[in-house]
């Protein structure tokens, strides 16, 4: 049996003179959750739209559920569900009307479409919404209905494009819970996100995307190991003693980054508590006054700076 549900080799897509995808490769195994992690404009949405047959790629191989998205679009559409960034619902109709319509368009037949609509409303806590039009739904309700609409036929592959962007923490937790229960049922999920935490929570494997390419690939733990561990940040009160303080941190001097304007030192640490104690002790005996000392996880920015080959160039670009 085919264990690979999504296969992308060297996919390219150009908009005008900008490469949205610049030779993207991707392989997703059956029944797994795969995260596409990257900043805005990295090519995540373009990738999902190509995989979901909404957009045509210029070059490369793209196969979903055993079919080429160009030549077998209809076969692909039979097997996928899509939750895009914006609700793909008829805003004028009610929740049940929407689900029933999508069921009919999936050729379930009138009766089964109705039964399926009721099942999904129940499952996503939307029973009793009646004829209220979707445009009057809250953001969380809309997202749940949108997810329900993506699951009409229990798709083999489900695409989730930034499924929790714009949701409050409770809405986010609800979506995460739904995704987990789906995977229990054998659905393959491809999820895009800007949040490291989200990829960490949900994905078995993560591909980091930057400027239309995959720049790193692996489990969350593998990627974190590559980024380096947690960091310790120290804000030194006296700017003149910044360099001296940098030499005292429990890390190789080359690994300590110095931000003179903010009087901020930052260094990777291996053992959180021991490093904190060592830093406090070393600064104390040298008589250097610290305004603030904090341990923190690497931020998404740092992940990208580490994983993109020309991270420094990018940093300058962002600063400019």
Smallest gap from residue 140 Cβ to other proteins (A): 16
Which CB, 97 or 257, lies closer to other proteins? 97
Smallest gap from residue 47 Cβ to other proteins (A): 14
Three-state secondary-structure class, residue 156: coil
Asked if residues 285 and 303 have their Cβ atoms less than 8 Å apart, the reply is no
Structure tokens given for 246: 């940098």
Structure tokens given for 44: 């995540």
Structure tokens given for 245: 């303080």
Which CB, 159 or 304, lies closer to other proteins? 159
Residues that bind other proteins (CB under 8 A): 49, 52-56, 74, 77-78, 80, 82, 84, 86-93, 97, 101-102, 104-107, 133, 149
Per DSSP, 297 falls in state P
Query: In terms of DSSP bridges, do strands 80-83 and 67-68 run parallel, antiparallel, or are they unpaired?
Result: unpaired
Asked if residues 200 and 222 have their Cβ atoms less than 8 Å apart, the reply is no
Q: Answer left, alpha or beta for residue 217, where phi above 0 means left and psi between -120 and 50 means alpha.
A: beta
Smallest gap from residue 1 Cβ to other proteins (A): 23
Smallest gap from residue 56 Cβ to other proteins (A): 5
Which CB, 101 or 258, lies closer to other proteins? 101
Which CB, 7 or 78, lies closer to other proteins? 78
- C-alpha 52/C-alpha 156 separation (Å) is 12
Which CB, 9 or 58, lies closer to other proteins? 58
Smallest gap from residue 31 Cβ to other proteins (A): 21
- C-alpha 117/C-alpha 136 separation (Å) is 19
Which CB, 106 or 241, lies closer to other proteins? 106
- C-alpha 143/C-alpha 163 separation (Å) is 8
Three-state secondary-structure class, residue 215: strand
Smallest gap from residue 89 Cβ to other proteins (A): 6
């Amino acid at each position: 049996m085919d264990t690979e549900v999504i296969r992308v080799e060297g996919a390219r897509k150009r908009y005008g003179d900008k490469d949205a995808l610049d030779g993207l490769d991707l392989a997703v195994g059956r029944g797994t959750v795969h995260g596409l992690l990257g900043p805005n404009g990295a090519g995540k949405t373009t990738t999902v739209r190509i995989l979901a047959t909404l957009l045509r790629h210029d070059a490369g191989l793209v196969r979903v559920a055993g079919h080429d998205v160009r030549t077998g679009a209809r076969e692909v559409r039979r097997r996928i569900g899509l939750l895009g960034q914006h609700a793909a619902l008829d805003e004028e109709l009610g929740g049940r009307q929407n689900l029933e319509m999508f069921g009919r368009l999936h050729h379930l037949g009138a009766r089964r479409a109705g039964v399926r609509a009721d099942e999904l409303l129940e499952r996503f806590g939307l029973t009793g919404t009646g004829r209220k039009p979707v445009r009057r739904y809250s953001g969380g309700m809309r997202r749940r209905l949108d997810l329900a609409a993506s699951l009409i036929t229990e798709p083999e592959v489900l695409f989730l494009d930034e499924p929790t962007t714009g949701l409050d923490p409770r809405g986010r937790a609800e979506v995460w819970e739904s995704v987990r229960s789906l995977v229990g049922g054998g659905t393959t999920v491809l999820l895009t996100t800007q949040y490291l935490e989200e990829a960490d929570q949900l994905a078995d494997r993560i591909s980091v995307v930057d400027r239309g390419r995959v720049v790193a690939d692996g489990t969350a733990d593998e990627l974190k190991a590559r980024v380096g561990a947690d960091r310790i940040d120290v804000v030194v009160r006296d700017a003149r003693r910044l360099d001296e303080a940098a030499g005292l941190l429990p890390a190789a001097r080359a690994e300590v980054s110095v931000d003179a304007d903010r009087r901020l030192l930052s260094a990777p640490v291996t053992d959180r508590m021991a490093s904190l104690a060592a830093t406090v002790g070393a600064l104390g005996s040298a008589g250097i006054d610290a305004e603030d000392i904090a341990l923190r996880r690497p931020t998404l920015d740092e992940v990208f700076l580490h994983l993109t080959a020309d991270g420094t160039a990018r940093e300058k670009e962002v600063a400019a």
